[in-house]
Structure 1
Amino acid sequence: MAERPSAAQEALSKVEDQLSCLVCLEPYTNPRLLSCFHIYCQHCLEDIVAHNRQGQLECPKCRRPTPLPPTGVSGLQAAFNVHHLFDIQETLKKIKEPQKLACEKCSVTNRKATSFCRQCTKFICEKCTDIHKEWDELKNHEIVTIQKVDGDLIRLVSPKKTSPRCPKHDENMKLYCEPCGELICRDCIIHIHKDHKYCVISDTFESHKKEILDSLRPVEKQLEATDTALVNLDGRHAEIIEHGRKLATNIHSKFDEIRRALDAREGELMAELEGHTQQQLKSLSAQREEVEILQTQRSSCLHFVRESIRTGSPGDVLKMKQGVVKQVRELVDTFDPNTLEPRETTNTCFVPSAQLVKECKKVGALYYDVVIPRKAIVGQKVTAYCRFLSAKISAPPEAKFISKITDKTTKCVVNERGKGEYEISYQPTVGGASKLIVRVGGEEVAGSPFPVAVKPTIDKLGTVIKAINDLKTPYGVALNQAGEIIMAEQDAGVVSIFSPTGDKLRTLDTRGTAVGEMKSLQGVAVDGNDNILVVDRDNNRLLKFSRGGDLIAAVGSHGDDPGQFNNPIGVCVNSVNGKVYVIDISAHCVHIFNSDLTFSSKFGSEGSGNGQFSSPWGVASDRSGCVYVADYINARVQVFTPDGGYLRQFGKKGSGNGELYSPISICVDSDDLVYVGENVNYRVSVFTCEGVFLKSFGSNGSGPGQFRYPHGIAVDQCGVVYVSDCYNNRVQIFY
């Protein structure tokens, strides 16, 4: 068995691989760095430029171009890190045979080295090791044994960090010119960089190093992304192989099934043919017997008469004449020539299905792509595509588009585009979460039903889709990630959860005043884990339940101390920082809680100035984490930073477009549109996040689209608006 190479030999092999130019395959000579961070010999790069017609420099490995400085290849950044690898190479060569390694520090000839000094980058003997331990200026040097060096040499060999020399003044360049981004010497300050801001390298190196390392963070993330992508590609490679295997099995199975059906049909036809053939043969046998009887009768007649005439006397012949002639005539008259024709024919035919033969060429199909737009707009045509490997399939795909809110089906039109591609067109008439079902050969394609988010246009916003009725003064309304509708019913003291289609799923019913119980519910919200948060006004409490209804936390009591309330009424969860914001209507402030409901801070006070409130009611946050508060008496919406810093406001008291009257509820959708419910105006007004008025809908009444106090608003990812119509005891759904 071959002897295993030492760690030093393995390390030497790895280092030498890194020291070879990919162009000349020789050790680097004056290595230069390209913009793609690949390294080559200077003379190799000069040859590349010389042979390029445009005089450009492209990396031989990745083909990325590198701009040439005015001085040409020699002006490119020197790859100084390669020199450190050469130092490591030299050290590795020495340590390959540690028994022959002599001390490189002391004057005694051939004294065996036992250790390595990382700072001196020298192999030293025991005596020199002791000197390192005794001398104060050498005590901080890192001394390691030969054995340890053999195991971890590359890390232990320190780079030789020397100050570069100024090519113009032959001085050490110890200064850095900030405007020029260059190393300079003292003479450079006077002659070239006069009045420029500069600093000593050693004083600012750490900050510059940090800046360089910080610049690498996006690269690190991209590297992580490429690593993940390669893993995903390898995974997809395996998935495609496995998927192909499964499809092959499925194809074999289906065609075996078809073959079995054909074999069964063949058996049926053969049995039918056999029965028919036997029946024909039996019929022919019976006919043959009839003809044989006829033949016998006539043969007997001829034989008898002829023999009688030949052998009988004239008197005997004449005596029998009358009777014989009569019998002969009867025999002739009863003869039917048709009896002699075969009653059975060979006209039985096998008629193969020409259509079947033709269809066999189209049995089954491999569809390789189904392109479904996952977003749509009400009233606008949407086109999806289904592509097949073969242009010939037995039947085109079938499609249905269905609203998840109303179960309404929209007609889909399927058109053949040729070359195995089919176009599926539909025009949504209802906003909200929907699904497209695509079937090929009676079976749904992979991924079907496909979710489609249908958004309304702002000009048509306010069309009633449906209403959920028979509620008891619903105040707050929220949506979870599954599209379930969560409602806080004030008079019932319960939280009710409905399906997207409006079917009641479950109820959180813990009525009472004890911790974890509910009495007079107001606002409701959902966090990123689908936990339900609800404020109980009478109990001055904030409660947190799991999606299934288990109590997770309950905080608050009546008072003015941190974490206490004086009529909490509105709540929202900030999707950016995960914090919970609770409106305290009587204290005229907003409480901020951490995600675990520990108290964080609060902001606001009574008044009409910036950042002050007069009976604030609703609260919401946008994609950037900014907080919006419906300032009820002040008839405005105020916008704050996540920590409560005042940013801006919009709205003024009135009933015109862009004006607000008793804004009570507020919500911000995924496009940062702000929906404000107005108590006195009995409507919902829509603004941009900067306060530009877009639209309003609603009026006073109990008919569809009318309100009697819109106390809660929620908007889903499709732009469908859910409004708790409090005193009409319903939640209306709009697109």
Structure 2
Amino acid sequence: MAERPSAAQEALSKVEDQLSCLVCLEPYTNPRLLSCFHVYCQHCLEDIVAHNRQGQLECPKCRRPTPLPPTGVSGLQAAFNVHHLFDIQETLKKVKEPQKLACEKCSVTNRKATSFCRQCTKFICEKCTDMHKEWDELKNHEIVSIQKVEGDLIRLVSPKKMSPRCPKHDENMKLYCEPCGELICIHCTVQIHKDHKYYVIADTFESHKKEILDSLGPVEKQLEATDTALVNLDERHAEVVEHGGKLATNIHSKFDEIHQALYAREGELMAELEGHTQQQLKSLSAQREEVEILQTQRSSCLHFVRESIRTGSPGDVLKMKQGVVKQVRELVDTFDPNTLEPRETTNTCFVPSAQLVKDCKEFGALCFVNIPQKAIAGQKINAHCRFLSAKNSAPPEAELVSKITNKAEKCVVKERGKGEYEISYQPTLGGASELIVRVGGEEVVGSLFPVAVKTPIDKLGTVIKTINDLKKTRGVALNQAGEIIVAEWNADIVSIFSPTGDELRTLDTRGTAVGEMKEPRGVAVDGDDNILVVDNGNHRLLKFSRGGDVIAAVGSHSDGLGQFNDPIGVCVNSVNGKVYVVDYGAYCVHIFNSDLTFSSKFGSKGSGNGQFNDPRDVASDRSGCVYVADFINHQVQVFTANGGYLRQFGKKGSGNEELNYPVSICVDSDDLVYVGEYGNDCVSVFTCEGVFLKSFGSFGSRPGQFNGPYGIAVDQCGVVYVSDHGNTRVQIFS
């Protein structure tokens, strides 16, 4: 087995990789920095300029041009950081064989080095190490062992920060001229920079260093964006490969289906041909028997008469003449010449379908469909369909189908020529939808294109679906599959419905044992699609898997940490994954970790900032801020993720900026805040800063009216699900 390289050898290899010019592949000589921050040897850059027709300098790696200063390549910024790497390289070469490393500080020959001084940048022996500890001017030096040097040399080797010298006065340049952005010496201040504003480098460096680092902020964001883009491109690459594989499977499957149908038809025709051929052969066999009988009769006649004449006396022949002649005539008269013609022919034909052959030559086509995945209800959207194979001449048809109502809206298709079509649609309903494309009446394989239709906030308020006959609904939530989770308080169950409102399953473990529930109120879904249920009657929080298996149960009726006194609302913070439970009996909000271990709590009884008077529900926004519906204080209070008070909005009343007993709350993906008002029987919508935008609903039992909006959920399309407690239903709005 090959010996594993040491840390110094690995570090040396990494450093040497950074010291080679990408043009000449040799170690850098006079390294110069381009505007794209790539570094090359000065002579390599000069060759590039010399061979460029316009005399321009383009980076060999990224092709970005760099403006040349008047002095040419030599006037470009020197890449001084590369010199530091050369220093590290030299030191690493020494560390690679520490047993041969001699002290570089004392005069004793070949005294073994045991440590490294970061400030001196020298390897020293034990005696020199002791000297560093004794001498006042060396006490502050950082001394590390050879072993630590080997593992962390790049950090320990300090760059050689030498003061540059003024080319005009041969003095150290210790000043910085701010208007010119240049280093200058003391003599320069009297001549060239006499009236300029300048500072001692040491005094101004930190502020300018901060300015440089601050300028990197947008670059860091752009780098994050490019990192994300590369991840997205890799994901899309994988998706394209996977999609291509699925399409190939679909093509093979469809052709296999056609092959099987052709083989089946071939079998039917062969069986039919076999039956027909056997019938013909049987008929010919029967006819042959008839002809053979005719042949035998006539052969016997000829043989008998001729033999009788040859062997009989004249008297005998004449005696039989009359009878024989009569029999011969009867035999001749009964002869039918048609009996001799074959009754069966070979005129049976195979008639292939010329159209089928033509269709097979033109069967199928690949088409590319460009569908905007987001749309706004009421606004026209244009999609495009382009046939990659021009043989299919049938124009496509399309319709947009709501995944909530199952209603289909026809799309307008216009031909643009050369196998291209424009598909236009103007959705009237918000919510998750699918665009289905058909060609020749047959659905295009893989054509269920998802379209998220957003309802403008000013248009929100139309009931598109109602789930009826529930038992005093409370909380409502949505999982990742779009299933609707409803707490039925009066039935002690949590029901789960499909996006179209069909009941799928229930969590109906009624009782007080672990995992059972009594009077469930708030519901939420965590990042793993687990269902969290506030078990109000048992004063605890339950966690179920998506399928309904009990995962955890925490809390009891007590005043201790993590215990409850009438818990009611729950939410999961998408930023930190923590679970927030409103305890209106204790006038606080409990914070649990994602594993439901207790973290902290905030709030107390009162009407001041951060205090509650009957808090009812909780929600969080994209930044992790937490919103609490404060029922009797008629307001919404906003907190940090840790419970620090930020702001509040609302006051008692029925006006646009007012709230009347807020009982439920939800924040959508755009950070709009939806508040269910028990006193006004409506849902009001605010910005996260509390600016009123919209309200809908009134007291009553008709569609769009409420009798206690006790729970709210909003999906990614802005479709609003409202638990209508008194009317025992969930209404879905777009």
TM-score, normalisation: structure 2: 0.74
Residue 555 of structure 2 aligns to a residue whose secondary structure is strand
CA distance in 1, matches of 2:663, 2:477: 15
1:478 aligns with 2:481: no
Hey, what does 1:36 align to over in structure 2?
Answer: 36
Residue 48 of structure 1 aligns to a residue whose secondary structure is helix
Hey, what does 1:83 align to over in structure 2?
Answer: 83
Deviations 1:117-143 (A, max 9, x none): 666666889998998898776785768
Which AA in structure 2 matches 1:481? Q
Hey, what does 2:282 align to over in structure 1?
Answer: 279
Deviations 1:251-271 (A, max 9, x none): 997798678658756864774
Hey, what does 1:201 align to over in structure 2?
Answer: 202
CA distance in 2, matches of 1:125, 1:644: 56
Residue 702 of structure 1 aligns to a residue whose secondary structure is coil
Unaligned runs of 5+ in 1: none
**Gap change, CA 1:388 and 1:112, over 3 Å in 2:** farther
Give the conservation status (yes or no) of the 8 Å contact 1:359–1:394: no
Hey, what does 2:543 align to over in structure 1?
Answer: 545
**Gap change, CA 1:674 and 1:232, over 3 Å in 2:** closer
Structure 1 residue 465 displacement after superposition: 3.1
Hey, what does 2:731 align to over in structure 1?
Answer: 732
CA distance in 2, matches of 1:400, 1:188: 78
Give the conservation status (yes or no) of the 8 Å contact 2:492–2:518: yes
Hey, what does 2:350 align to over in structure 1?
Answer: 350
**Gap change, CA 1:661 and 1:149, over 3 Å in 2:** closer
Hey, what does 1:665 align to over in structure 2?
Answer: 664
Hey, what does 1:718 align to over in structure 2?
Answer: 717
Hey, what does 1:467 align to over in structure 2?
Answer: 466
Residue 49 of structure 2 aligns to a residue whose secondary structure is helix
How does 1:162-181 map onto structure 2 within 5 Å?
A: 162-175=162-175
CA distance in 2, matches of 1:440, 1:6: 65
Which AA in structure 1 matches 2:711? G
Q: Which moved more, 1:201-210 or 1:31-40?
A: 201-210
How does 1:132-211 map onto structure 2 within 5 Å?
A: 159-175=159-175, 182-187=182-187, 192=193, 196=197, 198=199, 200-201=201-202, 208=209
**Gap change, CA 1:171 and 1:269, over 3 Å in 2:** farther
CA distance in 1, matches of 2:37, 2:30: 15
**Gap change, CA 1:95 and 1:565, over 3 Å in 2:** closer
CA distance in 2, matches of 1:148, 1:53: 53
CA distance in 1, matches of 2:153, 2:599: 52
Q: Which moved more, 1:113-122 or 1:170-179?
A: 113-122
Which AA in structure 2 matches 1:279? K
Hey, what does 2:591 align to over in structure 1?
Answer: 593
CA distance in 1, matches of 2:210, 2:707: 64
Give the conservation status (yes or no) of the 8 Å contact 1:630–1:663: yes
CA distance in 1, matches of 2:690, 2:668: 14
Residue 476 of structure 1 aligns to a residue whose secondary structure is strand
Give the conservation status (yes or no) of the 8 Å contact 1:636–1:663: yes
Residue 676 of structure 1 aligns to a residue whose secondary structure is strand
Hey, what does 2:52 align to over in structure 1?
Answer: 52
Structure 1 residue 651 displacement after superposition: 7.0
**Gap change, CA 1:696 and 1:200, over 3 Å in 2:** same
Unaligned runs of 5+ in 2: none
Residue 295 of structure 2 aligns to a residue whose secondary structure is helix
Give the conservation status (yes or no) of the 8 Å contact 1:177–1:199: no
Structure 1 residue 669 displacement after superposition: 1.9
Structure 1 residue 78 displacement after superposition: 0.7
Structure 1 residue 76 displacement after superposition: 2.0
Structure 1 residue 163 displacement after superposition: 2.3
TM-score, normalisation: structure 1: 0.74
**Gap change, CA 1:397 and 1:114, over 3 Å in 2:** farther
Residue 61 of structure 1 aligns to a residue whose secondary structure is coil
Structure 1 residue 505 displacement after superposition: 2.3
**Gap change, CA 1:175 and 1:238, over 3 Å in 2:** farther
CA distance in 2, matches of 1:718, 1:476: 20
**Gap change, CA 1:244 and 1:9, over 3 Å in 2:** farther
Give the conservation status (yes or no) of the 8 Å contact 2:651–2:658: yes
How does 1:348-427 map onto structure 2 within 5 Å?
A: 348-361=348-361, 373-378=372-377, 390-392=389-391, 403-406=402-405
CA distance in 2, matches of 1:703, 1:675: 21
Percent identity of the aligned residues?
63
Deviations 1:356-407 (A, max 9, x none): 43344356x6858665554445566767777776555799999886554445
Residue 727 of structure 1 aligns to a residue whose secondary structure is coil
Residue 338 of structure 1 aligns to a residue whose secondary structure is helix
How does 1:253-292 map onto structure 2 within 5 Å?
A: 264=267, 268=271, 271-272=274-275, 275=278, 278-279=281-282, 281-283=284-286, 285-286=288-289, 288-289=291-292, 292=295
Residue 40 of structure 2 aligns to a residue whose secondary structure is strand
Give the conservation status (yes or no) of the 8 Å contact 1:438–1:445: yes
Which AA in structure 2 matches 1:164? P
CA distance in 2, matches of 1:43, 1:507: 76
Deviations 1:228-280 (A, max 9, x none): 67986997899799889978997997798678658756864774575356336
Structure 1 residue 342 displacement after superposition: 3.0
Q: Which moved more, 1:346-355 or 1:440-449?
A: 440-449
Hey, what does 2:699 align to over in structure 1?
Answer: 700
Give the conservation status (yes or no) of the 8 Å contact 2:496–2:506: yes
Which AA in structure 2 matches 1:52? N
**Gap change, CA 1:598 and 1:409, over 3 Å in 2:** same
Give the conservation status (yes or no) of the 8 Å contact 2:117–2:142: yes
Which AA in structure 2 matches 1:161? K
Which AA in structure 1 matches 2:285? K
Deviations 1:554-613 (A, max 9, x none): 26746xx998888765554443345555667688x6546354443343278427xx8777
Give the conservation status (yes or no) of the 8 Å contact 2:555–2:562: no
Q: Which moved more, 1:347-356 or 1:625-634?
A: 625-634
Residue 82 of structure 2 aligns to a residue whose secondary structure is helix
How does 1:576-655 map onto structure 2 within 5 Å?
A: 576-578=575-577, 591=589, 593-595=591-593, 596-602=597-603, 605-606=606-607, 617-630=616-629, 643-647=643-647, 649=649, 653-654=653-654
CA distance in 1, matches of 2:350, 2:727: 75
CA distance in 1, matches of 2:525, 2:184: 60
CA distance in 2, matches of 1:133, 1:252: 85
Give the conservation status (yes or no) of the 8 Å contact 1:494–1:511: no
Q: Which moved more, 1:368-377 or 1:723-732?
A: 368-377
Give the conservation status (yes or no) of the 8 Å contact 1:474–1:490: yes
Structure 1 residue 21 displacement after superposition: 3.5
Q: Which moved more, 1:226-235 or 1:636-645?
A: 226-235
Give the conservation status (yes or no) of the 8 Å contact 1:604–1:611: no
Hey, what does 2:506 align to over in structure 1?
Answer: 506
CA distance in 2, matches of 1:404, 1:615: 38
Structure 1 residue 59 displacement after superposition: 0.6
Residue 464 of structure 2 aligns to a residue whose secondary structure is strand
Structure 1 residue 463 displacement after superposition: 2.5
Which AA in structure 2 matches 1:75? G
Hey, what does 1:341 align to over in structure 2?
Answer: 341
Give the conservation status (yes or no) of the 8 Å contact 2:603–2:612: no
Residue 603 of structure 2 aligns to a residue whose secondary structure is strand
CA distance in 2, matches of 1:6, 1:518: 61
Provide the aligned length of Structure 1 versus Structure 2: 719
Give the conservation status (yes or no) of the 8 Å contact 1:377–1:455: yes
Which AA in structure 2 matches 1:593? I
Structure 1 residue 503 displacement after superposition: 1.3
Give the conservation status (yes or no) of the 8 Å contact 1:682–1:698: yes
**Gap change, CA 1:424 and 1:287, over 3 Å in 2:** farther
**Gap change, CA 1:446 and 1:153, over 3 Å in 2:** farther
Give the conservation status (yes or no) of the 8 Å contact 1:665–1:677: yes
Structure 1 residue 284 displacement after superposition: 5.6
How does 1:284-323 map onto structure 2 within 5 Å?
A: 285-286=288-289, 288-289=291-292, 292-293=295-296, 296=299
**Gap change, CA 1:520 and 1:229, over 3 Å in 2:** closer
